[in-house]
């Protein structure tokens, strides 16, 4: 008899992989064993040589999502006399970690049927799951993935659950979070003081009544708390905005089912498939006309972010409510999502009227992921629940490193071997809560994968909380320039070889010359970059404080382009009083608190304010977003004039002619929709010009500006027409959520080459 030792690598733990191995081995009459190891799933087969060989073919053929078999390595071949019956053995620890921790998976159709089947012993049990669905990353405390290393370890299985858990023929065979009403977690409804009002089905039904009555209920889900209210109830939504201090930023909506999605928005097959996928992200869809949900959900916005119920508790709520609910992260604006019920009662004090909680602990916060479709492809705008912590491949081997990301929309990334894992989203590190979440992740991510970092990577900005973290601990980090990281992230996910023309357009990032970059053209080659062009810029009065003040950008742009008419235009177009004009002029003249910026994001702000589309914004990127939504898509495809000039080897696209023409058009009362459209086309035209000058290089678009669909789609279309290869962010977001990935890719390359490592402060 032959003995074959195999190692299965990929998404193989917590996805019903061992039962699959067991079933195939049984069918082929093989002896041996299968067990989880940190490095993957180990398989020992004993039997006739022919049968042993057939095994691999069957395994590959029958491996189904969510499991994914990347590699089946043969570790050894030997001979034995007899075969013991095939069994599933206990997990082993130690060895090189390579197994993937699975993301959280939305409730599968089989579990959903049982949830509403009165004959099922899990009828209306809010914690139903199986090997195809349920929580994973949000409950895992270590690998290998076994119940003892999840937050379910405190719940002892009842006899019936244990029988299912141990039966290889059962859908719940080795489903680690297995639970039932007799032995699993329980839901409770709490009042604002955290006092228990009731439990189990009563709690769920009471929460439904409160939502119907217009109240705001905090609901503990998979990766944290949502704040939920009736999406049709304008007063409730306005009250939620007031309490959450969130003026206009759109709220996500959870729709009861696909029928509702089609009523609310335009959704084709691809959109529906994504909504129904096990990742179950929020998908941005074009609203359909109608008054099905209140306008205050997403004011002045042609899109609505929709998701479907993805936890059994959501299904129970929505099935009974029969209406869409606002489902926004349970937090104050810009803070990370709450995960603990006691913490929620404190942090959501004054926001929620009731708390629908449960006692299955959440190991780490997971916001909902956000996606939209560009050119028929899924692009993630926030990579979180359902995607984290799936690894992305790196094209080379790297020593273990941890990249600490940017300051806004922070994520961190752990790279080792040939892979990189990007963490969940931590929010803006300005808040103490976000910094705490960041610090916990810095400890948690390497510990979870058993990979202590040997190198640390940060942004070159010395004052980012993430940079300070590394500096305060003397970690001697490698520093990567912000826009280089944006482009490197896209290069890494598309595995592009050789040099590219990177178009890094975002709101802000510290440039190598000490100015604020953000409208940059970078020739990016493996491990380095050369700045080859930029947008013309201006001094931004108010500096960092002006990032959310489009008026200040407009003033700076006017001062740079039409200085002679500054005072008059600032008064008339921007509605500024003499005092404000003097203050801004003084800042620009002296240069104090008025850094020079070439940021494309600030140009969008400036034009948005000049056109009167948005002078005051309540959240980052709002002015640019309003300008995008103002676009008249049928407007003449004519761009504004601009000039190009050379400046020390840099091509500078001078936007002064654009501003002057824009002002003339505003005088002539040209429709705002046309001006907005022409501005977008001008920005795309600039990118095409640069691409033409660097013909042969693939064009890589990165940075928060490419969340703008009109800009991105215009660039893709025009670049393709011009014969250029074009890439944009898909797996990781265009915004700063991708900075950690880019940092990891750049540093990994340097460490691999062991040349030119540039450390912060050198
Ligand atoms: Zn299931
Ligand atoms: Zn049970
Ligand atoms: Fe950025």
CATH number at residue 712: 3.30.420.40
| 650 and 712 fall within a common domain | yes
For residue 403, the CA-to-ligand 3 centroid distance in Å is 15
Chosen domain end from 54, 88, 122: 88
Segments in the chain below pLDDT 50: 95-97, 755-762
Exposed e or buried b per residue across 722-743, where buried means at least 16 C-beta atoms within 10 angstroms of its C-beta: eebebbbbbbbbbbbbbbbbbb
Query: Counting ligands in written order, which one lies closest to the CA of residue 509?
Result: 3
Distance from Cα 198 to the centre of ligand 2, integer Å: 21
Query: What is the distance in A from the centroid of ligand 3 to the CA of 182?
Result: 50
Indicate whether 202 and 237 sit together in one domain. Answer: yes
What is the rounded distance in angstroms from the CA atom of residue 142 to the CA atom of residue 474? 27
In this structure, the strands spanning 538-539 and 596-597 are antiparallel
Give backbone dihedrals phi and psi of 362, rounded to 5 degrees, phi first.
-100, 125
Q: Cα separation of 555 and 561, whole Å?
A: 10
For residue 389, report the distance from its CA to the centre of ligand 3, in Å. 22
Residue 191 lies in domain: 187-358
pLDDT of 93 reads: 59
Q: What is the pLDDT of residue 187?
A: 97
Model pLDDT, residue 92: 65
Distance from Cα 35 to the centre of ligand 2, integer Å: 24
Residue 639 and residue 677 in contact, taking contact as beta carbons nearer than 8 Å: no
pLDDT at 758: 40
The ligand placed nearest to the CA atom of residue 311 is 1
Q: Report the CATH number at residue 52.
A: 3.30.70.100
Please indicate, yes or no, if residue 165 is contained in any of the structural domains. Answer: no
Please identify every residue whose CB atom is under 5 Å from ligand 1, which is an ion. Answer: 108, 111, 130, 132-133
Which residues, listed in sequence order, are joined to residue 41 by a DSSP beta bridge?
8, 36
- 332 and 433 housed in the same domain: no
Q: What distance in angstroms lies between residue 628's CA and the mean position of ligand 1's atoms?
A: 41
Candidates 373, 383, 379; CA nearest to 268 is 373
Residues 654 and 587 in one domain: yes
pLDDT tens digits, 368-381:
999 999 999 999 99
Q: Is residue 133 part of a domain?
A: no
Q: What is the CATH number of the domain that holds 427?
A: 3.30.420.360
Q: Would the CA dihedral through 450, 456, 461, 462 be positive or negative?
A: positive
Ligand nearest to the backbone CA of 108: 1
595: nearest Cα among 656, 481, 513: 513
Tell me, yes or no, whether 721 and 746 share the same domain.
no
Would you put residue 535 in left (φ > 0), alpha (ψ -120 to 50) or beta? Answer: beta
DSSP-based three-state secondary structure for 520:
strand
Ligand sitting nearest the alpha carbon of 315: 1
Residues, CB within 5 angstroms of ligand 2 (ion) = 158, 161, 180, 182-183
Ligand approaching nearest to the C-alpha of 161: 2
pLDDT one-digit tens code per residue, 78-124: 888 877 889 888 776 554 445 568 899 999 999 999 999 999 999 99
Distance 226 CA to ligand 2 centre (A): 27
Whether residue 688 is found in the same domain as residue 584: yes
Among 36, 71, 88, where does a domain finish?
A: 88
Q: Measure 246 CA to ligand 3 centroid, in angstroms.
A: 23
Residues 221 and 304 in one domain: yes
- Considering every ligand atom shown, identify the ligand nearest to the alpha carbon of residue 157 and give its number: 2
Size of the chain, expressed as the number of residues it contains: 762
For residue 361, the CA-to-ligand 2 centroid distance in Å is 18
Closest ligand (CA of 520): 3
Q: Give the Cα separation of 570 and 578 in Å (integer).
A: 9
For residue 220, report the distance from its CA to the centre of ligand 2, in Å: 21
User: If you measure from the C-alpha of residue 432 to the centroid of ligand 3, how many angstroms do you get, rounded to a whole number?
Assistant: 21
User: Is position 25 within any domain?
Assistant: yes
- Of the listed ligands, the closest to the CA of 182 is 2
| Residues 342 and 443 placed together within one structural domain of the fold | no
**Whose CA is closest to 378, among 292, 285, 502, 254?**
285
Strand stretches in 216-331, DSSP E:
217-220, 225-230, 253-254, 282-286, 303-307, 325-329
Residues 649, 513 share a domain: yes
Q: Does 466 reside within a domain?
A: yes
Concatenating the DSSP letter of every residue in 87-104 gives EEPPP---S---PPPPPP
Whether residues 527 and 452 fall in one domain: no
- Quote the pLDDT of residue 227: 97
Distance from residue 386's CA to the centre of ligand 1 (Å): 15
Q: Which ligand does the CA of 129 lie closest to?
A: 1
Nearest ligand by distance to the CA of 172: 1
The dihedral formed by the CA atoms of 106, 110, 111 and 117, expressed in degrees to the nearest 10: 140
Q: Which two tokens stand for residue 65?
A: 């999502």
Ligand in nearest proximity to the CA of 159: 2
Residue 294 belongs to domain with CATH number? 3.90.870.30
440 C-alpha to center of ligand 1: Å? 30
Q: How far is the CA of 180 from the centre of ligand 1 (A)?
A: 13
Per-residue HEC secondary structure of 464-488 comes to: CHHHHHHHHCCCCCEEECHHHHHHH
Which ligand places an atom closest to the C-alpha of 486? 3
Question: Who's near 735: CB < 8 A, 6+ residues apart?
Answer: 381, 408, 409, 506, 703, 704, 707
- Residue at 552 is within a domain: yes
What's this model's pTM, rounded to 2 decimal places? 0.91
* Ligand closest to CA 740: 3
How far apart are the CA of 438 and the centre of ligand 3, in A? Answer: 18
Distance 506 CA to ligand 3 centre (A): 5
Distance 399 CA to ligand 3 centre (A): 26
How far does residue 190's CA lie from ligand 1's centre (Å)? 28
Question: If you measure from the C-alpha of residue 421 to the centroid of ligand 2, how many angstroms do you get, rounded to a whole number?
Answer: 34
What distance in angstroms lies between residue 106's CA and the mean position of ligand 1's atoms?
A: 8
Domain count of the fold of the chain = 4
| DSSP, res 314 | H
Cβ–Cβ < 8 Å for 742, 479: no
Distance CA 450, CA 439 (A): 17
Q: Per the domain annotation, does 369 fall within a domain?
A: no
Residue 203 C-alpha to ligand 2 middle, in angstroms? 20
Which DSSP letter does residue 312 get?
H
Look up residue 458 and give its two tokens.
């940060």
Rounded distance between C-alpha atoms, residue 598 and residue 519, angstroms = 5
Q: Are both 715 and 749 inside the same structural domain? A: no
- CA of 132 from ligand 1 middle (Å) equals 5
Would you give the end-to-end CA distance of the chain in angstroms? 63
Note whether 376 and 391 are within 8 A (CB).
no
Query: What's the CA gap between 281 and 291, in Å, rounded?
Result: 24
Ligand 1: centre distance to CA 91 (Å)? 23
Claim to verify: residue 698 and residue 745 sit in the same structural domain: no
Helices of type H across 522-577: 550-561, 566-572
Three-state secondary-structure class, residue 258: helix
Cβ neighbours around 174 below 10 Å, total:
24
Give Rg (Cα) of the chain.
Answer: 27
- Whether 94 is covered by a domain: the verdict is no
CA of 133 from ligand 1 middle (Å) equals 4
Query: Domain ends where: 88, 117, 145?
Result: 88
- Domain presence at residue 123: no
Q: How far apart are the C-alpha atoms of 712 and 561, rounded to whole Å?
A: 26
Burial of 546 (C-beta count, 10 Å sphere; 0-12/13-18/19+) = buried
Strand partners, 652: 534, 645
Before 127, cis peptide (omega within 30)?
Answer: no
């Amino acid at each position: 008899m032959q003995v074959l030792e195999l190692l299965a690598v990929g998404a193989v733990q917590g996805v019903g992989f061992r039962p699959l191995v067991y079933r195939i081995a049984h069918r082929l009459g093989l002896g041996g064993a299968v067990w989880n190891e940190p490095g993957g799933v180990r398989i020992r087969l004993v039997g006739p040589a022919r049968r042993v060989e057939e095994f691999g073919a069957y395994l590959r053929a029958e491996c189904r999502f969510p499991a994914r078999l990347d590699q089946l390595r043969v570790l050894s071949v030997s001979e034995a006399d007899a075969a013991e019956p095939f069994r599933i053995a206990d997990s082993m620890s130690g060895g090189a970690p390579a197994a993937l921790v699975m993301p959280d998976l939305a409730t599968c159709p089989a579990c959903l049927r049982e949830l509403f089947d009165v004959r099922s012993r899990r009828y209306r049990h809010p914690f139903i799951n199986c090997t195809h669905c349920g929580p994973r990353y949000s409950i895992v405390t270590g690998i290998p993935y076994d119940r003892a290393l999840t937050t379910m370890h405190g719940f002892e299985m009842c006899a019936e659950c244990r029988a299912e858990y141990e039966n290889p023929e059962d859908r719940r065979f080795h489903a680690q979070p297995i639970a039932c009403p007799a032995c699993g977690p329980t839901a409770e409804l709490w009042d604002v003081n955290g006092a228990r009002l009731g439990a189990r089905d009563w709690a769920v039904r009471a929460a439904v009544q409160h939502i119907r009555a217009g109240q705001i209920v905090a609901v503990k889900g998979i990766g944290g708390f949502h704040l939920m209210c009736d999406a049709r109830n304008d007063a409730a939504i306005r009250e939620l905005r007031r309490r959450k201090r969130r003026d206009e930023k759109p709220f996500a909506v959870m729709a009861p089912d696909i029928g509702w999605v089609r009523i609310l928005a335009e959704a084709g097959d691809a959109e529906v498939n994504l909504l129904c996928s096990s990742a179950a992200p929020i998908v941005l869809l074009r609203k359909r006309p109608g008054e099905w949900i209140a306008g205050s959900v997403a004011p002045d916005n042609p899109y609505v972010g929709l998701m479907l119920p993805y936890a059994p508790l959501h299904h129970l709520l929505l099935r009974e409510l029969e209406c869409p609910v606002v489902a926004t992260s349970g937090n104050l604006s810009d803070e990370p999502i709450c995960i603990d019920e006691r913490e929620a009662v404190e942090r959501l004090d004054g926001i929620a009227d009731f708390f629908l909680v449960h006692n299955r602990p959440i190991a780490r916060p997971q916001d909902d992921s956000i996606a939209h479709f560009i050119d028929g492809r899924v692009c993630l705008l926030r990579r979180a629940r359902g995607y984290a912590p799936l690894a992305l491949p790196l094209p080379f081997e790297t020593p273990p490193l941890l990249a600490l990301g940017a300051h806004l929309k922070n994520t961190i990334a752990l790279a080792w071997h040939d892979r990189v894992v990007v963490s969940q989203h931590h929010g803006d590190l300005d808040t103490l809560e976000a910094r705490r979440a960041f610090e916990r992740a810095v400890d948690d991510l390497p510990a979870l994968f058993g990979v202590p970092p040997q190198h640390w990577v940060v942004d070159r900005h010395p004052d980012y909380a993430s940079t300070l973290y590394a500096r305060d601990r003397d970690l001697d980090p490698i520093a990567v320039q912000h826009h280089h990281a944006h482009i490197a992230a896209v290069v890494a996910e598309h595995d592009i070889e050789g040099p590219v023309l990177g178009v890094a357009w975002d709101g802000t990032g510290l440039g190598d010359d000490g100015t604020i970059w953000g409208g940059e053209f970078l020739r990016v080659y493996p491990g380095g970059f050369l700045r080859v062009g930029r947008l013309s810029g201006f001094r931004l009065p108010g500096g960092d404080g002006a990032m959310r003040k489009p008026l200040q950008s407009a003033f700076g742009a006017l001062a740079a382009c039409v200085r002679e008419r500054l005072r008059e235009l600032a008064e008339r177009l921007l509605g500024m009083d003499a005092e404000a004009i003097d203050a801004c002029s003084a800042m620009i003249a002296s240069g104090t608190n008025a850094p020079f910026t070439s940021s494309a994001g600030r140009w969008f702000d400036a034009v948005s304010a000049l056109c009167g589309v948005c002078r005051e914004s309540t959240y980052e990127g709002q002015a640019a977003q309003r300008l995008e939504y103002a676009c008249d898509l049928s407007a003449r495809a004519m761009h504004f004039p601009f000039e190009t000039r050379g400046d020390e080897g840099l091509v500078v696209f001078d936007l002064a002619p654009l501003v002057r023409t824009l002002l003339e058009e505003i005088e002539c009362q040209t429709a705002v929709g046309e001006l907005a459209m022409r501005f977008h086309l001008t920005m795309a035209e600039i990118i095409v010009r640069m691409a033409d000058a660097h013909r042969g290089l693939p064009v890589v678009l990165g940075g928060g500006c490419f969340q703008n669909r009109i800009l991105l789609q215009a660039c893709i279309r025009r670049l393709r027409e011009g014969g250029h290869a074009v890439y944009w962010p898909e797996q990781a977001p265009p915004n700063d959520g991708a900075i950690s990935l880019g940092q990891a890719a750049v540093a990994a390359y340097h460490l691999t080459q062991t040349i030119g490592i540039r450390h912060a402060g050198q």
